Amino acid sequence: MRILVCVKRVPAPGARIVLTNDSLAIDTKNLGFTTSPHEECAVEAAIQLVEQHGGEVTVMTLGAGEADEQLRYAISVGAHKAVLISNDALAAGTDADPIATARALTEAIADLEAGGGSFDLLLFGNESADSGGFQVGVRVARALGRPIVNGIKGIEIIGDSLTARRECVEGYEVYQLTMPAVLGVKEGINLPRYATLPGRLKSKKAEVLQRNTTTDAGAVDTTSLATPVEQTVNTIVLGHGPEAAVAVVDLLVELGLA
């Protein structure tokens, strides 16, 4: 079984986001970066499937050379191969829009499949943690003519078909797809493993295939970015001991809860 997981380098969750002086971009000099959480779970899902059925996992990303860090981390936890797609614009820090990203990934996937056969399964994160576009996986699946289901919280493979589960109000929706197929994995499908020391040492020596793309960054036109105003909460102590009970009741009445 051959599985390809597309990942994205994003600012670490919880990091304080600071804008550049012109408010057109994020100042990244003091930011930590990681793999987008949904895609981190997609990598873990791919590794678990290969552990069950055999095969190999390839991870791929589009971006600057620094994204090599996220590819090597995926190798350190069990992925077998890594592909970095870039060009001069991306290396200079330009972000590609979803259309351009999907186009570059589709071209790279088609080239890899031409040389090594079709991937049985393509995994994407449900959406990226930074832009949250929900588009790239769908666009790639459409371009390759393969079925896709997003929001996946469970994957089971039997023969040349797979069963995918997606949460809904009533419980789960169950989809059966014939491979090759594409899935958008949602955080919570599993608990990603941590890299071991041997895994990290292996990842440092691993070869990351470099691919150049002629696809431009797209037509993103940013007028300005803005960070939301920080909200502070004041804590009021209503009292201590039994004498606080009256104040609690008064507050519940004021809120209409008593």
Taking only the tens place, the pLDDT of each residue in 180-214 is 999 999 999 999 999 999 999 999 999 999 998 87
Give the chain's end-to-end CA distance (angstroms, integer): 61
Cross-strand bridge partners of residue 124: 184
**What does the mean pLDDT of the chain come to?**
88
Which of the four pLDDT bands, split at 50, 70 and 90, describes residue 220? low
The residues, ordered by sequence, that sit 6+ positions from 257 with a Cβ below 8 Å of its Cβ are none
- List helix spans (H) across the chain: 37-53, 68-76, 88-91, 98-116, 136-144, 197-205, 244-254
The answer to whether 135 and 125 have CB atoms below 8 angstroms apart is no
Q: What CATH architecture applies to the domain 2-254?
A: 3-Layer(aba) Sandwich (3.40)
In terms of pLDDT, which residue wins out, 199 or 229? 199
> What is the value of pTM for the model shown?
0.82
Q: Which residue has the higher pLDDT, 45 or 229?
A: 45
| pLDDT at 222 > cutoff 80 | no
Higher-scoring residue by pLDDT: 53, 96: 53
Rounded average pLDDT over 29-57: 92
Check residue 221 and give its pLDDT.
Answer: 62
Q: In a 10 Å sphere around its CB, with 0-12 CB exposed, 13-18 middle and 19+ buried, how is residue 71 labelled?
A: buried
The pairing of strands 81-86 and 171-178 is unpaired
Which residue, 188, 145, 133, is CA-closest to 165? 188
